[in-house]
């Protein structure tokens, strides 16, 4: 009996240790290969295919490291990552947005890549993007792409039918409201834009910059500036679109999804540049009838920011046991042969923008890239004026997004909504001790 118990205990111990070693980062498999876990947030289908293709290729070209690619849906990403971190099983490599780089560094979450990648890897990165992945002079992420958060898409056929000139898109917010009013007919709404607090929290960053030249927090993150009068016109703009019935009141999908435009439910759309890829892949018939333009500025000044430059990077976990192996893969995928990333941008339908000079050069010889009308407009009229995403905690963005939603849906008037947001932001600043912690 006693002997049987000991045997059972031994089996349990072996099973547990096998299970644990299989789940941990930077572990070795029976063939002596180091397994590096790579969590990729789920994006458009073609991206999953692209990542898989190159992970398989990397695994096939060498026998020392095996990259274990796992695709994680966006809506379960945060809780899954936290649970993994709590259990000490965070992925060795993860997709991380620019906005999460600085907060992650503040928590000690990422390994510095300067010690793991050759210096040339970063000299190839464009100067305006380097700052997105640099904290206190060190690089903590390798950038993959940038994509402007807000671009105006419009249906040229409907615009012409409404007696408007498709070659002269709206320049001010007032023009846009006028266009939306004329284009709202029957079941087709004039346009679509975010209307839920969480979506507004991030998709309105560019328009916050446009309205006030700043976000609703002062430069050293010590005080909210949400009650500045310039933000009132931003809330009024959203309120006009919503209360005027110019946008769908019960949207079926979130801001990031361009399906309502692709399905012909709206004549115009505020959407990220990534929607171009969605249209080219899923709604091909809509592409010839679509034009893009920079999102209008409140006063018509096209040089003012209307979009933030969002995008994705790869980061290496600070606790990874295979940091060097993880960094080697990051180098292979993002910082190596420019043809690899050029292939990615081609697959994306040129809906995302390069971060490396050498990839630009690789694309310069590609006639598809140089002649793409969407890419030309966004590269010349949106990207140069785009700003970096804020690095402050999400609670601040959510508080401001909720203020816009509150004003849109009549929960409170514009000044009261902004006052509530300011109080919430000041509360976040106080409780999370943010004053003076803004990255420089």
Partner 1 sequence: MTALDSRVAAPADPAPDGAPPHGRRRPARHGRDNRTAYLMIAPMVVLLAVFVMWPLVYSLYLSTFKISFYTEPEFVGLDFYQYVLESPRFWESIWVGLYYAVLTVPTGIVIALLLASFIKTLSRRAASYMKTTVYLPAVVSTVVASVLFVFMYQDDGVVNAMLGVLNHGPVNWLNDPSYALPAIAVPGIWLSFGVTTLILLAGLLDIPENYYESAQLDGAGFFQRLFRITIPLLKNVLLYLLVTGFTLAIQLFELPLIMTNGGPVDATMTPNLYIFASFRDLTPYATSFSLTASLMLFAVLGAISLVIFRLVNSDKAIDG
Q: Which is nearer to partner 1, 52 or 411 (CB)?
A: 411
Contact 164, 179 (CB under 8 A): yes
Task: Find the helix or strand (DSSP H, E) in which 59 lies.
Answer: helix 45-61
What's the min distance (Å) between Cβ of 120 and partner 1?
29
- Note the helical H segments in 365-413: 367-371, 373-377, 394-408
What's the min distance (Å) between Cβ of 103 and partner 1?
7
* Main-chain phi, psi angles of 394, to 5 degrees: -55, -30
- Note the helical H segments in 24-147: 45-61, 74-86, 101-106, 119-123, 127-130
Write out the two tokens for 90.
């965070």
Between CA 367 and CA 273 the distance in angstroms is: 20
Task: Find the helix or strand (DSSP H, E) in which 27 lies.
Answer: strand 27-28
Site for partner 1 in 263-292 (CB under 8 A): none
Paired sense of beta strands 266-271 and 189-192, if any: parallel
Contact 323, 182 (CB under 8 A): no
Q: Which is nearer to partner 1, 302 or 423 (CB)?
A: 423
Judged by CB under 8 A, the residue of 393, 413, 415, 437 near partner 1 is 393
Q: Which is nearer to partner 1, 31 or 86 (CB)?
A: 86
Question: Candidates 211-219, 277-285, 341-349, 387-395 — which segment interacts with partner 1 by CB under 8 A?
Answer: 387-395
Q: Binding string, 289-318, against partner 1, x = CB under 8 A? A: -----------------------------x
Q: Which is nearer to partner 1, 188 or 339 (CB)?
A: 188
Q: Which is nearer to partner 1, 138 or 411 (CB)?
A: 411
Between CA 218 and CA 173 the distance in angstroms is: 25
Q: Binding string, 180-219, against partner 1, x = CB under 8 A? A: -------x-------xxxx---------------------
Contact 211, 234 (CB under 8 A): yes
Question: Candidates 143-151, 299-307, 364-372, 403-411 — which segment interacts with partner 1 by CB under 8 A?
Answer: 403-411
What's the min distance (Å) between Cβ of 318 and partner 1?
6
SS3 357: helix
Question: Candidates 50-58, 107-115, 267-275, 355-363 — which segment interacts with partner 1 by CB under 8 A?
Answer: 107-115
Give the list of residues 6+ apart from residue 345 with CB closer than 8 angstroms, or none: 145, 352, 353, 354, 359, 363, 369
Give the list of residues 6+ apart from residue 338 with CB closer than 8 angstroms, or none: 356, 358, 359, 361, 362
Question: Candidates 28-36, 59-67, 98-106, 270-278 — which segment interacts with partner 1 by CB under 8 A?
Answer: 98-106
Q: Which is nearer to partner 1, 7 or 78 (CB)?
A: 78
Report if residue 148 touches partner 1, rule: CB under 8 A.
no
* Main-chain phi, psi angles of 218, to 5 degrees: -75, 175
Between CA 196 and CA 247 the distance in angstroms is: 12
Site for partner 1 in 227-266 (CB under 8 A): 248-252
Between CA 32 and CA 370 the distance in angstroms is: 46
Site for partner 1 in 37-96 (CB under 8 A): 78-79, 81-82, 85-86, 90
# binding residues, partner 1 (CB under 8 A): 38
What's the min distance (Å) between Cβ of 386 and partner 1?
24
Footprint on this chain of partner 1 (rule: CB under 8 A): 78-79, 81-82, 85-86, 90, 100, 103-104, 107-109, 187, 195-198, 248-252, 318-319, 393-395, 402, 405-406, 409-411, 424, 427, 431-432
């Amino acid at each position: 009996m006693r002997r049987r118990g000991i045997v059972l205990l031994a089996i349990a111990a072996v099973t547990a240790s096998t299970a644990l070693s299989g789940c941990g980062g930077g572990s070795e498999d029976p063939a002596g290969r180091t397994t590096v876990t790579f969590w990729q947030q789920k994006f458009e289908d073609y991206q999953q295919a692209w990542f898989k293709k190159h992970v398989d290729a990397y695994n096939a070209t060498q026998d020392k490291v095996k990259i274990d690619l796992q695709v994680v849906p966006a809506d379960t990403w945060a809780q899954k990552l936290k649970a993994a971190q709590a259990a000490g099983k965070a992925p060795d490599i993860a997709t991380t947005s620019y906005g999460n780089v600085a907060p992650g560094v503040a928590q000690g979450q990422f390994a510095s890549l300067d010690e793991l990648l050759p210096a040339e890897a970063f000299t190839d990165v464009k100067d305006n993007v380097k700052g997105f992945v640099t904290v206190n002079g060190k690089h903590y992420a390798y950038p993959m792409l940038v994509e402007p958060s807000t671009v105006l898409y419009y249906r040229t056929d409907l615009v012409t039918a409404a007696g408007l000139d498709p070659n002269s898109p709206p320049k001010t917010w007032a023009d846009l409201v006028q266009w939306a009013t004329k284009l709202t007919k029957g079941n087709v709404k004039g346009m679509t834009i975010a209307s839920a607090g969480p979506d507004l929290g991030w998709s309105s960053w560019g328009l916050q910059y446009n309205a006030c030249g700043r976000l609703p927090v002062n430069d050293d993150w010590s005080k909210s500036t949400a009650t500045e009068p310039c933000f009132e016109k931003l809330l009024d703009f959203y309120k006009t679109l919503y209360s005027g019935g110019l946008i769908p009141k019960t949207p079926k999908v979130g801001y990031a999804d361009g399906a309502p435009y692709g399905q012909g439910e709206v004549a115009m759309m505020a959407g990220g540049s990534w929607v171009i890829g969605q249209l080219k892949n899923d709604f091909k018939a809509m592409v010839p009838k679509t034009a893009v333009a920079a999102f209008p500025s409140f006063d018509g000044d096209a040089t003012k920011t209307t979009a933030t430059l969002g995008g994705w990077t790869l980061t290496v976990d600070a606790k990874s046991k295979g940091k060097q192996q993880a960094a080697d893969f990051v180098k292979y995928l993002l910082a190596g042969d420019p043809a690899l990333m050029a292939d990615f941008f081609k697959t994306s339908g040129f809906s995302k923008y390069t971060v490396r000079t050498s990839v630009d050069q690789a694309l310069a010889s590609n006639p598809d890239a140089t002649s793409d009308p969407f890419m030309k407009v966004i590269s010349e009229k949106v990207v140069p004026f785009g700003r970096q995403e804020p690095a402050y905690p999400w609670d601040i963005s959510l508080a401001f997004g909720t203020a816009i939603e509150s004003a849109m849906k009549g929960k409170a008037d514009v000044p009261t909504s902004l006052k509530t947001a300011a109080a919430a932001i000041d509360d976040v600043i106080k409780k999370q001790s943010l004053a003076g912690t803004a990255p420089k």
